[in-house]
Structure 1
Amino acid sequence: MTEPMNIPAELRDWSVRWPEYAPVDITPKELLPQALAREVPVWAEEAATPAAVTDWPQRQDYALVRFECDARSWPLHPAGRTGHTGRNLGRWGENRAVDPIVIANAGPAQRLLLVTRDDNHQEAAPGGMVNPDETDEEALLRELFEETGLDLRRYRPIILGRDLVDDHRQSDHAWVASTSALFVLPTVVPVTAADDALDATWYPADSMTELETAISAAGRTLFAAHRPLIARALAHLAQK
């Protein structure tokens, strides 16, 4: 991954003029115009640039996190300049994801379900991208089942937030926003890692400190982008 240019805090907002801004293009070879003209990956849209997208008003209305478009009708990252341009995600603009957080034995003995990601080998909540033909709630259940074997259709998820994700693939014109939801189980149940999860583990999680200590003791690392999501879930349970 090419490192983005440094973005001073005072220049991050799109309303601030910065004529010298020169973001790094992170488009992989399979999403370059010449490659898309030959074959479009199943996980990506065919538009080589945002100019080829014709439904920006609809995408803005559907977005989890509000975003604006520039004078060219190109989408602008809601958090401002990223130092990256191009697209390393399936869609231009917002790419919708889900992050189901599963906790069992709520209380002092509670456990949190994490999977080991196959891309960075870090511990993370199960999850992934929402398919075009499904709701966020359907995607939460599907991702859980695909990565851990858990069928939680009889449980009602508690929606904790709909937020931007600090994803390494984001750019000025393509980013990830996720619905995070909490599932509370009465007890720990068997899980089996599958799909893009290398392992699935129940970790002690009475607090973030206990969780991170347990992950470190296992010789693993917590995926930084999911830390605030997990912390919010634990805080929600602590208030009950």
Structure 2
Amino acid sequence: MTQTIPAGLRSWSMRWPEYTPADITPPELLPAALAHHVPDWAEGAATPADVHNWPLRQADALVPFQLDARGWPLHPQGRTGRTGRNLGKWAENAAADPIVVAGHGDDRRVLLITRDDIGVEAIPGGMCDPGETAPTTLARELREETGIDLSDHQPVILGRDLVDDWRNSDHAWVASTSALFVLPATVRAVAADDAVDAGWWPFGSLAELDAAISAAGRVLYGAHRPLLQRALDHLDRPQQAARPR
């Protein structure tokens, strides 16, 4: 997502007076529009200057971030080439991504949805509601998008990381808690909410998954590739030998 930014200039510590990021703010989040109506998925702050709880947001962040001289939040990984906001909140937007895997060996499958916003195959998941914990979001998003209820399962937390989301900007970005659910066999999945399709795909390797998705004329969401590879690494890790008593 940041391929237009030279590696040597991505860091905020590097001076770049000529830097002119593109504003990606949609019409409904521009100041004039927010003055009349705030969408239910967004906060009403027209700019980061209208946010007054930065110390709390910094303390609660999955990934630490700093503020610039104006008091505006800065993407933890540096310049993105984009400014403005196309997300619900300024700074970090916390999300949760449940990776559901079923079966073993050649029969191992992973559950993916087809996103209705960009039409690609992706992990089911979404943004945390205000006051909602990551485990609650994991179960809720999975149920809403696929009809599968794993609220009584204990997942393995794989990481809490920045996501290379297409909506990220210098001042608003996505960070996600990714977690692995392992089932003995596939269960019925029914697409709903933000998903237009849901199904199980071969998951012996990322290459195998890519091949299956490509053969179906579809595309895997690039931002989720690292999360899926982390799940594969965990699943393929040799089990520790039992300790002698």
TM-score range for the pair, normalised by the shorter chain length: over 0.9
CA distance in 2, matches of 1:9, 1:211: 30
**Cα distance in 2 for residues equivalent to 1:191 and 1:22:** 44
Alignment-derived partner of residue 77 in structure 1:
75
C-alpha separation in 2, matches of 1:27 and 1:123: 25
CA contact (8 A) 1:130 1:139 kept: yes
Greater Cα shift, 107-116 or 68-77: 107-116
What is the match of residue 183 of structure 2? 185
Structure 1: distance between partners of 2:228 and 2:4: 28
What is the deviation of 1:5? 9.2
- Which residue in the other structure is 2:128 paired with? 130
Q: Distance in 1 between matches of 2:233 and 2:31?
A: 46
Q: What is the aligned length?
A: 238
The equivalent residue for 1:11 is 9
Paired letter, 1:88: N
Q: Deviations over 1:83-140 (max 9, x none)?
A: 1111111000000111110000133321100111111211111001110021011000
TM-score of the aligned structures, taking structure 2 as reference length: 0.94
Taking the aligned partners of 2:3 and 2:53, their CA distance within structure 1 comes to: 30
Quick one: which amino acid aligns to residue 208 of structure 1? L
Structure 1 CA distance, aligned partners of 2:85 and 2:216? 35
Please state how far the C-alpha of 1:72 moved relative to its aligned partner: 1.1
How far is the alpha carbon of 1:4 from its aligned partner? 7.9
- 8 A contact 1:147–1:196 mirrored in 2: yes
Distance in 2 (CA, whole Å) between partners of 1:115 and 1:132 is 24
Which of the numbers 223, 226, 242 marks the counterpart of 1:228? 226
- Separation in structure 2 between the aligned mates of residue 120 and residue 200 of structure 1, nearest angstrom: 15
Which residue of the partner structure matches residue 26 of structure 1? 24
Query: Using the alignment, how far apart are the partners of 1:28 and 1:188 within structure 2?
Result: 39
Match of 1:45 in 2: 43
Distance 2:3 2:182 in 1: 41
Structure 2 counterpart SS, 1:198: strand
Distance 2:107 2:4 in 1: 43
Q: Structure 1 vs Structure 2: percent identity of aligned residues?
A: 65
Alignment match, 2:96? 98
| TM-score normalized by the length of structure 1 | 0.96
User: Does the CA-based 8 Å contact 1:25-1:84 persist in structure 2?
Assistant: yes
Distance 1:5 1:157 in 2: 34
Instruction: Please state whether the residue corresponding to 2:66 is helix, strand or coil.
Output: coil
Pairing of 1:137-216 with structure 2 (within 5 A): 137-216=135-214
RMSD of aligned alpha carbons:
1.3
Q: Matched residue of 1:38: which SS?
A: coil
Q: Which runs of 4+ in 1 moved over 4 A?
A: none
Measured after TM superposition, the shift of residue 212 of structure 1 is 1.2
CA contact (8 A) 1:106 1:184 kept: no
SS, match of residue 107 in structure 2: coil
Tell me the distance in 2 between the aligned counterparts of 1:120 and 1:172. Answer: 21
Partners of 2:67 and 2:145 in 1: CA distance: 35
- Aligned CA distance change for structure 1 residues 5 and 233 (closer, same or farther; 3 Å): closer
1:111–1:205 CA contact under 8 A, matched in 2 = yes
